[in-house]
Chain A
């Protein structure tokens, strides 16, 4: 498994062996949201610009919006979340992943934080 990258919006990105990028939210983000009760996912196989809202995560008391971290195509979404949104709480970096994308330019990932930088970032919040 290759290394994780992190955005300031508390998303994680992981490059898979086939070149696709899996996207989810961090443990910090799920903790902030609290008990997640609904995840609204986009259609797969859609081209999306960076910064476009693609996922809405609702907890009992809050609504979180997830934006496309880099320009690309959504190639898969985690359908299990329709019936089991609590997976995002229980395993945000595992079974609670949100979507898989193909980036238009893989170099776009280089701008994001590595794990150590992200931990520093969270510690400063």
Chain B
């Protein structure tokens, strides 16, 4: 399976091959879908111990200059983001739709932004155009990003640098790990405690090998990353959230800064008037969790119908939730059908299957709370 895969490779490609990765094209990169153990085992290992993910394909963007100017592009509170603190936010369009989701960290004199691989060049152009002369924006091409996720992640990383073990959730620090200068954020996209480690591409393989030498750590591919984030109720940009879904429809109202919600500051992000109106009046459809009563996997694009046969929604992503032991999915349904426990139906290959609206997340988040 290790035939040449078209696309760029990350700094860890040789290591991936050595570890038996099945490489697949993803957002222009050859990325590991899974390793020898398979997606299910990697998923369960991450929730039980610690998984190491190569997410170097994601965009690492630096913004310097008038940092608060970013409030003209995102609904989050940037002026109120403390030094070394991190925030999940969104780039919106003029209709209040979501261009991409981002992680934003305030570092001394700059903002560090992690963007999705598929949109990083669009995001860069959008940031450059939107921030104009107020800021200097750059996309790093020589950096790597590793994610260490799972209940053992803090002990594993703490063995290299004790101070990271008590790093608060959604905050960052610069430190040396096994002799390599790293920016460590306590965050992730699995619902588990964990870290994302940004470092020079040339240092990535050495650190990855050092982490994998810990018996609690196993390499985990994009397949399990997708099923883990789905169980955790986290959106995949371009799939569960896109230019047609607003933060309110996507059940991400919490990403709108409190100062805009309570009216103490005027919102300047694109589509603010749409989003703030929806905060009060709601949206026709909202994002929900979905679980079939049987074992049939739900796939993106499948229509959801009510008991009268009327189309009331669509599945946006689905996978098998290895930890919950049944298929899990997300989608959008009409507000009247969005209450957990509501029964809907799907037709898959001409057979009807019952589907229930399920509260999100499917598994409780286990973030570090100190």
Residues of A within 8 A of B319 (CB): 60
B223 touching A82, Cβ below 8 Å: no
Q: Is the beta-carbon distance between B34 and A37 smaller than 8 angstroms?
A: no
Tell me, in angstroms, the Cα distance from A82 to B353 when the chains sit together: 14
Distance in Å: Cβ of B228 to nearest Cβ of chain A:
12
List the 10 shortest-distance A-B pairs measured between CB atoms, nearest first.
Answer: A35-B40, A37-B320, A60-B39, A38-B295, A35-B38, A60-B320, A58-B297, A35-B39, A38-B297, A61-B223
| A60-B296 contact in complex given A34-B223, A35-B320, A37-B320, C-beta closer than 8 Å | no
User: When the two chains form the complex, which single residue of A34, A58, A85 contacts B34, counting CB atoms closer than 8 Å?
Assistant: A34
- Cβ–Cβ < 8 Å partners of B223 in chain A: 34, 60-61
Q: B290 at interface (Cβ–Cβ under 8 A)?
A: no
- Bound CA–CA A87/B354 (angstroms): 24
Judge whether B33 is part of the interface by a CB distance below 8 angstroms. yes
Does A40 make an interface contact (CB < 8 A)?
yes
A47 within 8 A of B: no
Which A residues lie within 8 Å of B33 (CB)?
A: 61
For the complex, what is the distance from the CA of A55 to the CA of B295, rounded to whole Å?
15
| B108-143 interface code vs A (CB 8 A; 1 in, 0 out) | 000000000000000000000000000000000000
A32 closest partner in B (C-beta): B1
Partner of A40, one of B34, B327, B349: B349
Nearest CB to that of B22 among chain A residues?
A34
Shortest distance in angstroms between B54's beta carbon and chain A's nearest beta carbon?
Answer: 18
C-alpha spacing A40/B297, complex, angstroms = 11
A61 and B26 CA atoms in complex are apart in Å by: 13
Per the 8 Å Cβ criterion, residues 83-114 of A in contact with B are 83, 85
Interface residues of B in 312-327 (CB under 8 A from A): 319-320, 322, 327
- Can you report 24 residue pairs joining A to B where beta carbons are below 8 Å apart? A34-B34, A34-B38, A35-B38, A35-B40, A35-B41, A35-B322, A37-B295, A37-B320, A37-B327, A38-B295, A38-B297, A38-B327, A40-B349, A56-B349, A58-B297, A60-B39, A60-B223, A60-B227, A60-B319, A60-B320, A61-B33, A61-B223, A82-B295, A83-B295
Question: Which B residues are in CB contact (< 8 Å) with A85?
Answer: 295
Q: Taking the nearest CB of chain B, how far is it from the CB of A75, in angstroms?
A: 22
Q: When chains A and B are docked, how far (Å) is the Cα of A40 from the Cα of B327?
A: 15
Which chain A residues (19-36) contact chain B, with CB distance < 8 Å? 34-35
User: Which chain B positions have C-beta within 8 A of A56?
Assistant: 349
Complex Cα–Cα for A35 and B40 (A) = 6
- Closest beta carbon of chain B to A82's beta carbon, Å: 7
Give min CB distance, B18 to chain A, whole Å.
Answer: 19
| Residue among B33, B40, B351 with max Cβ neighbours from chain A (10 Å) | B40
Question: What does the 1/0 interface line of B288-331 toward A look like (CB < 8 Å)?
Answer: 00000001110000000000000000000001101000010000
With most chain B CB atoms within 10 A of its CB, the pick from A38, A61, A82 is A61
Whole-angstrom distance from the CB of A59 to the nearest CB of chain B? 8
Complex: chain B residue closest to A53, CB-CB: B349
Nearest to A83 among chain B residues (CB) is B295
Partner of A61, one of B39, B322, B349, B351: B39
The answer to whether B296 touches A38 (Cβ under 8 A) is: yes
For the complex with contacts A35-B41, A37-B297, A61-B223, 12 further pairs of A-B residues with Cβ separation under 8 Å are: A35-B39, A35-B320, A38-B295, A38-B297, A38-B327, A56-B349, A58-B296, A58-B297, A60-B319, A61-B33, A61-B39, A82-B295
Report the bound CA distance from A24 to B16 in whole Å: 32
Q: Which residue of A lies closest to B42 (CB)?
A: A35
The distance in angstroms between the C-alpha atoms of A37 and B297, with both chains bound, is 8
Q: How far is the CA of A38 from the CA of B349 in the complex (A)?
A: 13
Which B30-49 residues have a C-beta within 8 angstroms of A?
33-34, 38-41
C-alpha gap A60/B38 in the complex (Å): 10
CA distance A35 to B38 in the complex (A): 7
With a CB–CB cut-off of 8 A, which chain B residues contact A37? Answer: 295, 297, 320, 327
Complexed CA–CA distance, A7 and B369 (Å): 56
**Chain A residues, Cβ within 8 Å of B327:** 37-38
Considering only residues 262-276 of chain B, those with a C-beta below 8 Å from chain A are none
C-alpha gap A71/B340 in the complex (Å) = 46
Query: Chain B 324-353, CB within 8 Å of chain A: the 1/0 string?
Result: 000100000000000000000000010100
Chain A positions within 8 Å of B297 at CB level? 37-38, 58
